[in-house]
Amino acid sequence: MKINIYYGGRGVIGDPTLYVLKKMTTVFEELNVTVERFDLYDQKNIIATLPQTIKEADAIVLASTVEWHGAGGYIYSFLDACWLYGDKDKIQNTYMAPVIMSTTYGEKEAQLDLIKAWATLGGAAAEGITGYIPDVAALENNSGYDELIEKCAENIYRAVSQKWTTLPVSNRVISQKINKTKTGFLTQQETEQLSEYISNEKFVTQQKADIKELASMFKGRMKTETASGDLQRYMDALKERFSPMADLHIRFKFFVKDMDKNIAIRVENADITVKEGDVSYPDVTLTIPEKTILRI
């Protein structure tokens, strides 16, 4: 069994949630559970890719500290990424246990919010733990609190190992109606890979510069002569002149403005797919006249 912990606090010294997670991790490991923790504040630039890690888990723990209002932005950014990029079929079979400590007020409201969000994604909630802990010393010096935390960890383990049944909730009905998998030129795996690039600012900046350079190059080479022919002839010619390259994964969208049509090109190593129509999330988008596509 594997349990992933997603911690949405700031990682400050004296955070009571960190104390609770440490105790729970000890119990999980004693039960031969593999535990992996993701500190969202430290991985904020790749939060869009973290829903992929749920695939390897039997259950997850969403943990954060209410310092002034709500569970904190990192947790909600992670849940947003689950909505956009998560594997909904896997989420539906993954238990989520909320762990919310408060140094001010509002721990119950934050816990309920996480349960509602996970239910909307289609998942089931396991029993978590909440508490008002203004000073972590209140936890460290109270053996009774330790027993409650350990009991919570044991209940999470039982819920997952015994696959406790939960009654359906209305949130799931809403999720089934509006949370449809988007279809397009990309597979689910490709969408997840794309999210990694989206979170890489250096990559995005370089891609914009490359696209600008390509557009400028084609504009400078355009001639006044015209060329004729139908779209299928151009697509066949592109496939015939394709030269395979290792580790090349790229998508082009050519809008031939004279013909008001799109050519979608997808290259995966030695394979090329050329078709008429649109392409989702193209690496390069060019609006070009017919004479330029002929020259290409």
Residues 159 and 15 in one domain: yes
Give the contacts of 16 (CB within 8 A, at least 6 positions apart): 65, 101, 103, 131, 133, 136, 138, 139
CA–CA dist 26, 117 (Å, integer): 28
What are the φ/ψ torsions at residue 202 (nearest 5 degrees)?
A: -65, -40
pLDDT for position 91: 93
Domain count, the chain: 2
8 A C-beta contact, residue 102 and residue 136: no
- Joined together, the tokens standing for residue 277 give 């129509």
pLDDT band at 205 (very low <50, low <70, confident <90, very high): confident
pLDDT digits (tens, 9 = 90+) for 124-172: 999 999 999 999 998 988 999 999 999 999 999 999 999 877 777 665 5
pLDDT band at 286 (very low <50, low <70, confident <90, very high): confident
pLDDT for position 177: 58
Residues 62 and 26 in one domain: yes
Section 94-122 average pLDDT: 95
Section 204-233 average pLDDT: 68
pLDDT digits (tens, 9 = 90+) for 24-64: 999 999 999 999 999 999 999 999 999 999 999 999 999 99
pLDDT for position 277: 85
Sign of CA dihedral 276, 278, 280, 284: positive
Which is nearest to 97 in space by CA: 151, 168, 16?
151
- CATH number of the structural domain spanning residue 220: 3.30.1050.10
Which is nearest to 28 in space by CA: 125, 154, 164, 161?
154
- Joined together, the tokens standing for residue 96 give 């989520």
CA–CA dist 64, 72 (Å, integer): 7
| Weakest mean pLDDT among 102-106, 110-114, 157-161, 291-295 | 291-295
Task: Identify the three-state secondary structure at position 36.
Answer: strand
Residues 133 and 205 in one domain: no
Residues 216 and 141 in one domain: no
CA–CA dist 182, 177 (Å, integer): 13
Decide if 186 is inside a domain: no
Decide if 81 is inside a domain: yes
pLDDT band at 224 (very low <50, low <70, confident <90, very high): very low
Residues 134 and 45 in one domain: yes
Residues 172 and 101 in one domain: yes
Structural domain span for residue 135: 2-178
Residues 14 and 155 in one domain: yes
pLDDT for position 79: 96
Section 62-73 average pLDDT: 93
| Mean pLDDT for all residues in the chain | 85
CA–CA dist 67, 104 (Å, integer): 6
Provide the 10 A C-beta neighbour count for residue 150: 15
Residues across the chain:
296
pLDDT for position 229: 52
Amino acid at 92: Q
CA–CA dist 165, 167 (Å, integer): 7
- CATH number of the structural domain spanning residue 27: 3.40.50.360
In whole angstroms, how far apart are CA 287 and each of 112, 229, 265? Answer: 49, 18, 14
